[in-house]
Amino acid sequence: MCGRFELHSAFEIIAKLFGLSGGAFTIPESFNIAPGRDIAIIVKVGAENRLALCRWGFVPSWGKDLKEGHKMINARAETVAGKPSFRQAFCRHRCLVVADGFYEWKNVGGKKVPFYIHRRDDKPFGMAGLYNLWTSPEGERVCTGAIITTGANEVVAPLHDRMPAIVEQNAVALWLDPAVHEKEKLLSVLKSCPSDELELYEVSARVNSPKNDSKENIQQIKQRD
């Protein structure tokens, strides 16, 4: 699964990497993004890729309140195309969730130890996501979203059997295009990225609490014996 990640790259870096259109966008820097927080997503609007903010926690059109999103922060690649909650979004409302890295925990001697996973080249990346413009009973429209997970690659597998489906650059246009509906073509995008593109290291237990949100969260700590 993916239950915590971070984003600190400047808008200019993200805009260049993903070919974003429009003016500068203020992205809230956070080294400890938890469910229920705003996340930066990339969507295709007309012929342009644009950045938007979305609440992490997918609420389907029939959802009664935002709390329902707490149960749907992730969607499994193996079932996302057919699950009623995600089926329509998979067809028409796909996005990229922008991140610089994500966290996963490993049981070491009965204790949960956090690790930080990021690209070796330190570039931000896009995790496959879905979004829905949910309307509350009071008529308020809220963008809600989920991150799609797939089987872990060799780097992440020692920590967890799932990881975010990181979309390769050559598949970004396909994934974001709302005119593409072919199930098999879209599902082919949802795979674990090559292991040699990622690295991980142990970080401070500070990240265990979403209240701790600073650059210290991604600093490597001394390797254990």
Active-site residues, by number, are 2, 104
Please give the Cα distance from 145 to 129 (Å, whole number).
Answer: 7
H-helix or E-strand spanning residue 142:
strand 141-151
CA 64 to chain centre: 24
**DSSP class per residue in 60-117:** -TT-SSGGGGGG-SEEETTTTTT-TTTHHHHHH-EEEEEESEEEEEEEETTEEEEEEE
CA dist 118 and 124 (Å) reads 8
Rounded CA separation 164/2 (Å): 6
